[in-house]
Amino acid sequence: MDIAGSGALVVGGASGLGEATVRRLHQQGASVTIADINTETGEALGAELGVACVACDVREEDQVHAAVEQAAEAGGGLRICVCCAGTGYAQKVTGSKGPHPLEPFASILAINLIGTFNVLRFASTAMLGNEPLADGERGVCINTASIAAYDGQVGQVAYSASKGGIVGMTLPAARDLASAGVRVMTIAPGLFDTPLLAMLPPEARESLGKSIPWPPRLGLPAEYAQLAAHIVENRMLNGEVIRLDGALRMAPR
């Protein structure tokens, strides 16, 4: 699919991986809509690039639906959807503090997994109404998991479960939508230089980067965006999860 002239929605597009994806798709000529719970940052980015930003909490059906509808009406039809929304929580299953509380576990699943599914189901429904391209393609949905889905560390039970769910729904979703010409892909990033890691001391960030076999540094959000753009353009990529991690396999701690 050509990016130029296509309508695109980037959920969680105000910062980090999402912001880099917004910039990349905009640079390549897509009509981009930013959706994010952080409207202040999103609107600043939108003003810089001249694109729309809509408030969106991925747990809220109405907000996701409204974001998808706005993107579909922005020009070119909604043909590209990238979901980068997510957050984390660290605690062991049990320990000196007692059992892992249920509420934060449920909250992480609600944001990361159910939120991603909300975006996927509404975006793909909008894509069904697109006129098929020359080869019958109508759209592509790209979700964001994590290598924690495979190599979850101590204290990552909630986060890993949520990202594992995204991995698990990739193939069946792609099969569900194949007859309509809508592709579904997932990127599973490793350690990336995002606002979350920016809160760590410089020496801690440097140490994390050196743990990556090659290149021995934190991933750049622009490298995530580069892969997302390639997925859009490569029609044979469908129903797969791509690890973007520099060959990193996370240790237990």
Task: Assign residue 179 a region (left: φ > 0; alpha: ψ between -120 and 50; beta: otherwise).
Answer: alpha
Name the percent of the chain in helix, strand, coil, to the closest 5. Answer: 45, 15, 35
Identify which of 56, 27, 227 has the alpha carbon closest to the alpha carbon of residue 144.
227
User: Which tokens in the block code for residue 156?
Assistant: 């990552």
Tell me how far apart the alpha carbons of residues 189 and 107 are, in angstroms, rounded to a whole number.
Answer: 21
How many CA atoms, within 13 angstroms, populate the side-chain half-sphere of residue 89? 20
Tell me the backbone φ, ψ of residue 184, rounded to 5 degrees. Answer: -130, 125
Annotated catalytic sites, by residue?
159
Q: How far apart are CA 114 and CA 66, in angstroms?
A: 17
